[in-house]
A and B are shown apart, each in its own frame.
Chain A
C-alpha cells in the first residue's frame, strides 16, 4: 500500500472511530436504566452503538471522504481524463470504496439487524427477567416452591451474578425438596404420567391393584388398575380388577352404614366419573369436585391420588386465569387486528375472518391474549359467527390441513371464584366441541411479526421484511410499503459508493492548500460536517423513498427495481465523470 492508500485508511478509520465513539456516548446517554437490568447495560450500550453507527455510516463515510480529499490526499500534478495517470489515480480509491461498499452491504444486511436484535433482546430479557422475579415471588407466596425455583433459575440465566436471587433460589429449592413436590410436564396422558410416577412397571401396578382389591380398598384398586391400563391397554388382569373395583365402588355404599362415609364415597365416585368423561366441561367439574373433596377430606389417599390428575386434565382443555395474572408483567404487544389467513382448502373463498386482540402477553408459560374479538362473514356481509372472549391462551399445534397453526384457547378457569370464562357468541355459532378454540392460521412467531407492524417497517430487519412481504397479503395488509422498504435497503450500499465518488470529486474541488493553518478548522469541520451532511443525506433518501413509492405503486415491484437500478447506474456514471473532471482540473 502506498502513502496515499495509508493516509486514506488512517483518515477513514479515524472518522469511523470518532463516529462509533460518538454513537457509544449517545447510547450511554440514552440508556434506558429503568427498563434494562444493570447487568445488561454494557451489552445494550455496545449493540445500540453498533446499530446506530451503521445507520449513520453513510454520513460518517461521506464526511471522511470529503475530509480526506480536501485536506490530506495529495494528487500531484494535474491529470487529463485521457491520461493513464487518471486511471491509476482512480484505481486505488475505487478499489477501496468498492470494498467498503461491500462491507457496508454486509453491515446493513446482517450486522445492523443482528445488533438491533441484540439490543432489543436486552430490553426483552430485562422485562422478562423482572416479570420472572415477580412471578417467582407470587409462586413463593402461594407456597408453590418448585415453580418459584424454576423462575428464579430462569432469572439467574439472565443475571447470574445476582446473589440475592441466588439465595432466594436456594431457599425455594430447599422448601420444594422438603415438600417433595413433583412436576413432570410431558405430552403423555395424565394417567400415563401418573403411572410412571407410581411404579416402574405395569406388573407392579397390577400387583398393587390386586392387593388393594383383596383389602376391599376399591378406589386404590381402581386407581392402580387404571394406571396399569394406561401403560398397557391390553392387560387383561388390570381390566378385570378395574371392572371389579367399579362394581365394588357401586355396591360399597349399600353395605356401609355410616351416612357420612357413604356421602364421601358418592362424591368421589361422581368426581371420578366426571374425570373419566374427558369432555371439557366435565373435566372442569371434576377438578372442582376433587378440589372440594381435598378440602373436606385432607387425609383421604384416593383424593390425594386423583387431585393431581384432575388438575392436569383441566389444563388440557382450558387454562387458569391465575396464569394471566402472574404473566401481567411480561412483555406485551398491543392492538393486533388482522385477517385470519385464508383457509387452506378454500384459498379463494369469499368468507373473511378477522381477529382482534387487545393485548398479547409473551410470558414464560405461554402466549396469552386479552380482549379477543373474532368475526367471520361471507359474501354480502352475512355474519357466520361473531364472538368475544375476555381471555385466551395461544398454543402452537399442527393443524388438520398439515401446516403449523396457533390455536387460541378461550376457555379460562378462575380457581378462586370457580367460574369459567368462555367465548360469548354475539351472533352465529360454531360446533360446540370447538366453540372455545379459534385456529389462527399462522405460527405464533409470525403473529408477533404482525403485532410489530405498528412499530413501522423502518426498524425491521431484512429477513423480517422478506417474511412480512410473504405473509402480509394473507393477513390483509398492504405489501407495497414492505417492498418500498426492501428497495431502500438495497439502495443503501449503492448510495455509499455514489457518495464516495461524489465525495472525492467535491473534496478535490474544495481542497485546502493550507493544511498547516487549516488544522483548527479541520477539527471544527470534523464536528460540523456530519451534522450538515446528515440533513442532505436524509433528504436524498427521502427523495428516493418518494420515487420508489411511485414506481412500486405504478409499475409494480419488478418494474420499480429495474428503474431504481438504472437510476443508480446513471448516478454512478455521473459520479465517475465528476471524479475524472475534478482530477483533470487539479
Chain B
C-alpha cells in the first residue's frame, strides 16, 4: 500500500512536470514558428496562451512517459508491486481519459481570437524554389515596397519578355490564413510555402517528426472513437493503459536493469508505431471479418485487441519469477 501510494504520488508529480515541459516546448515551438516581428508586446505574454493550447496533446504523451518513469521508480521500492501497478493503471487510464475527453469537453480557456499563423518580417528575404518575397516595410497588415519573384513568371518571361521580379508598392497581409495578397496583378503567396523565416528554425528532424506523427495518428482515432462511442473509447483507453502498465514485464525482463531500460524505451517506441495500425479502420474491418461473432461491433475491436495484449503481458508477469526474487538477483544478493 505504501509503495502504491509512493508510486501514485511519483506518477502525478512526473505527469505534471512532463505535461508542463511538453506543453512548454510545444508553446515555444508554436511561438517561434508564428513569430511576428511587427506584433510587439512581451513575448512571454504571447507564449502563455500557446502553452495552454499545447496542454491537450501534452496530456497523452505526459501520461505515457510518466507511467514508464513510474515503473522504473517502482523497481527501487520495496514490497509487492501489485497494488502499485493497480494504482498506476487507474491513474494512467484516468489521465488518458481526461486527455481524450479534453477534446470533446474543452478546457475553460477563452477561445483564441485567431489561429496563429506565419507572419512576414520587413527586410527579410523569404525563398522557395518557386517564389522569393521581400517586404520593404510593414504597417500592421499593410505592406509597402514588396518585391516578388516567381519562377513561373521568369520561365514565361524567357519566351514573352516578361519578368520574374515584380515590385508592388502595396500589398496586404492576411493574418487569418498567413498569406500575402497582391492586387495588381492579383495573386496570393502563402508564407507556409517559403523558407528563411523563423519557422524554418523549429522544423523538427525526421526522427522527431516521425514520433510526433505516430502520436497524432494514435490520438486521432481515439478522439474519433470518443465522439462516436464513449463506452468503447473508455474501454480502449483502459486496455491501452493496461498494456503500458504491464510493460512492467519488460522493465524487469532480465537481471540487467540497463538492458531492461533499453528494451522498455524501444517497446514504448514500438507501441507508438503499432497503436495507429491497431486503430486503423481498414485493419479493423479486415479483423472484424475474421471474428467468430458476426455482429461484433467494430468500435469495440481495438479495446479487445489491446486488452488481449495487455492480459498476455499480465499472464507473463504472473508466471515470471517474483519481484522480490528479481530484486535479490539484481542487487547481487
A residues with CB within 8 A of B = 66-67, 70, 334-335, 337-339, 352, 354, 356, 358, 371, 373, 375, 377, 379-383, 386, 388, 390, 424, 426, 454, 475-478, 480-481, 484, 506-507, 509-514, 517-518, 521, 524-525, 528-529, 531-532, 534-536, 538-539, 542-543, 545-547, 549-550, 553-555
Instruction: Quote the shortest CB–CB distance from A365 to chain B (angstroms).
Output: 25
Determine which of A373, A379, A509, A542 lies in contact with B164 in the assembled complex, contact meaning CB atoms within 8 Å: A373
* B295 interfacial by beta-carbon distance below 8 Å: no
Q: Report 9 cross-chain contacts, Cβ distance below 8 Å, ordered by A residue.
A: A67-B258, A354-B134, A375-B147, A381-B169, A426-B163, A513-B330, A546-B28, A550-B28, A555-B43
A373 touches B204 (CB 8 A): no
Evaluate whether A354 and B165 lie within 8 angstroms (CB atoms) in the complex, with A371-B154, A478-B198, A518-B255 already known.
Answer: yes
Please give the number of chain B residues whose Cβ is less than 8 angstroms from any Cβ of chain A in the complex. Answer: 63
A377 touches B197 (CB 8 A): no
Interface string of B74-95 (1 = CB under 8 A from A): 0000000000000000000000
Determine which of A337, A377, A528 lies in contact with B127 in the assembled complex, contact meaning CB atoms within 8 Å: A337
Nearest A-chain residue to B333, judged by Cβ: A513
A352 touches B147 (CB 8 A): yes
Instruction: Quote the shortest CB–CB distance from A195 to chain B (angstroms).
Output: 44
Contacts of B28 on A, CB cut-off 8 Å? Answer: 546-547, 549-550
B132 touches A542 (CB 8 A): no
B residues with CB within 8 A of A = 25, 28-29, 31-32, 35, 43-44, 47, 121, 123-125, 127, 129, 132, 134, 136, 144-147, 149, 154, 157-158, 161, 163-165, 167-170, 195-198, 200-202, 204-205, 207-208, 211, 254-263, 265-266, 269, 329-332
A-B contact count (CB 8 A): 180
Evaluate whether A480 and B201 lie within 8 angstroms (CB atoms) in the complex, with A386-B165, A475-B125, A513-B330 already known.
Answer: yes
Nearest B-chain residue to A531, judged by Cβ: B266
Q: How far is the CA of A388 from the CA of B205 in the complex (A)?
A: 39
B256 touches A70 (CB 8 A): yes
A356 touches B255 (CB 8 A): no
Determine which of A371, A476, A534 lies in contact with B134 in the assembled complex, contact meaning CB atoms within 8 Å: A476
A538 touches B200 (CB 8 A): no
B154 touches A356 (CB 8 A): yes
Q: How far is the CA of A481 from the CA of B132 in the complex (A)?
A: 18
Instruction: Quote the shortest CB–CB distance from A386 to chain B (angstroms).
Output: 6
Determine which of A358, A518, A553 lies in contact with B154 in the assembled complex, contact meaning CB atoms within 8 Å: A358
Nearest B-chain residue to A548, judged by Cβ: B201
A477 touches B196 (CB 8 A): yes
Q: How far is the CA of A514 from the CA of B47 in the complex (A)?
A: 50
A512 touches B258 (CB 8 A): yes
Q: How far is the CA of A507 from the CA of B262 in the complex (A)?
A: 12
B25 touches A546 (CB 8 A): yes
Q: How far is the CA of A354 from the CA of B165 in the complex (A)?
A: 9
Contacts of A66 on B, CB cut-off 8 Å? Answer: 258
Contacts of B332 on A, CB cut-off 8 Å? Answer: 513
Instruction: Quote the shortest CB–CB distance from A373 to chain B (angstroms).
Output: 5
Evaluate whether A506 and B258 lie within 8 angstroms (CB atoms) in the complex, with A354-B134, A375-B167, A513-B332 already known.
Answer: yes
B266 touches A528 (CB 8 A): yes
Which of A388, A517, A518, A531 is packed against the most chain B CB atoms within 10 Å? Answer: A388
Contacts of A379 on B, CB cut-off 8 Å? Answer: 145
Nearest A-chain residue to B42, judged by Cβ: A554
B32 touches A539 (CB 8 A): no
Contacts of B269 on A, CB cut-off 8 Å? Answer: 532, 535
A478 touches B208 (CB 8 A): no
Instruction: Quote the shortest CB–CB distance from A233 to chain B (angstroms).
Output: 47
B165 touches A512 (CB 8 A): no
Contacts of A506 on B, CB cut-off 8 Å? Answer: 258, 261
